[in-house]
Structure 1
Amino acid sequence: MAQSVYRIVPDDLSGDAVTALLRFHLDEMHRWSPPGSVHAMPVERLRQPDVSFYSAWDGDRLAAVGALRQLDERRGELKSMRADPAWRGRGAGQAILRHLLAEARGRGITWLGLETGRTEPFHPAVALYRKHGFTSCEPFGTYVADEFSQCLHMELTA
């Protein structure tokens, strides 16, 4: 299937399509993850000043979302990466990931981390992250080592 060219924009999380995709994302995280291992942020948390949220559009249709959380001056974290199911396999997730990597580099972030699951539903996302240079790391921030979660990171250069 041909990949689309996506228009990626900063998003204030006020649109129905964006909030519906995030609600779907949270519902799946709760379905796929054991209690205490859901680290996806609700819309209210994604609106806080330490998070920059972006949406990727294919024409007037929402294709994917993702966020960059500033941990400190040089470290960031990817949050709420999600492609709409209709855009899976069409490069939407890759487009938003590339945008977030460029945004992080532009801010001078030199370390970028993320937390995700280890089970089968998370394998496509993990493959995308690894394709772009993320490698396994120890839990960071408030994450703890467990059998379900894994943390990945990458060192960024300008």
Structure 2
Amino acid sequence: MSALNRFHETASDALEKISASLPAGAKLCLAIYTPEKPELDIVLQDKGLDLNEVVSTLRRRGLSIDGDNAYKRDLLDAIVGALAFGAQNTSPPPSDHWGTRFWEIGREERGLHEELVAALKLTRENLRACQAMIHLAGGADPAYVNDAQAAMAVADAVLAKAGA
């Protein structure tokens, strides 16, 4: 019998003994990990164990959302992807998927962005039309003209960033 098989057998026997003394309905999970060697990780668990409850238990016992681990990085990458796809209005997740919430946020933010760009374009064009009318009417206070020109330059810069 290999050392790994002996370990599994010994651990299973020990877990059965521990399980016998647990309160009714309690579940048992043993996780063994070797840093930098995930291929050596071992998880022994009771039948019917809910791994989400294990994570909740660890959170109640001090596991921090601020710590760095691959699961959280993957989760956050998925959220960022859902936001980006929503902004592009492509690849929506199934309607009952948790990522739908983030996809819809991305889509709504993109819609607001487009509305703001349209409003800025309209305002900029009306400001340009006012400038043209003032010029045709024979001029105006130079301070107004200079301020209006500066405002149009700001609008043009923002519109250029927005690709509009």
Query: Normalising by structure 1, what TM-score?
Result: 0.27
Query: Normalising by structure 2, what TM-score?
Result: 0.26
Structure richer in helix, relative to its length: 2
* Higher RCO (C-alpha under 8 Å, 6+ residues apart): 1
Of the two, which has the highest radius of gyration? Answer: 2
